[in-house]
């Protein structure tokens, strides 16, 4: 009886080891296919921004300055800017409504509330139809204090 149980145990252990070896042989091929797929996707960049960070050291209080992010469609299909999300309510962004054709340029205009004195750093998240990962744009700067107008006393 002990011999039969021992034989069955050895057979089960043997089958288990063979099953694991078969799995190990298949998985490296899958991993290699994923690596190749990722490499091809990364080398082909369909949208290229002139700058992804715009910094202004001195922004006048209550100015209407815009931060313009220029980009070019360097891919082979039209680019549709699906969404532009700002990091807070103090920042607004305008995106192109029409698709940007291959080889053409477009822009995203960002406006910061310049009634907030001091340094700021805000991000804008852009999603498109050609990239799975969102693109993060950044504006930085310092809003100067409001200029106080002094009236000269009349000369007597």
CA-CA distance, 9 to 88, in Å (whole number)?
A: 65
- What is the pTM for the complete model shown? 0.67
pLDDT at 139: 97
Phi, psi of 138 (to 5 degrees): -135, 135
What are the pLDDT digits (tens) for 91-129?
999 999 999 999 999 999 999 999 999 999 999 999 999
Distances (CA, A) of 83 to 51, 52, 67, 121: 19, 16, 17, 20
């Amino acid at each position: 009886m002990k011999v039969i149980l021992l034989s069955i145990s050895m057979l089960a252990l043997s089958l288990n080891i063979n099953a694991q070896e078969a799995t190990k042989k298949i998985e490296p091929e899958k991993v290699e296919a994923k690596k190749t797929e990722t490499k091809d996707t990364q080398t082909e960049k369909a949208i290229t921004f002139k700058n992804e960070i715009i910094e202004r050291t001195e922004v006048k209080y209550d100015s209407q300055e815009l931060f313009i992010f220029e980009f070019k469609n360097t891919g082979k299909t039209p680019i549709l800017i699906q969404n532009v999300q700002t990091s807070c309510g103090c920042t607004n962004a305008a995106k192109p409504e029409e698709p940007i054709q291959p080889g053409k340029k477009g822009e995203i205009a960002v406006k910061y509330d310049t009634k907030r004195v001091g340094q700021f750093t805000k991000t804008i998240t852009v999603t498109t139809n050609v990239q799975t990962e969102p693109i993060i744009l950044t504006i930085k700067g310092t809003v100067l204090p409001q200029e106080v107008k002094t009236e000269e006393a009349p000369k007597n």
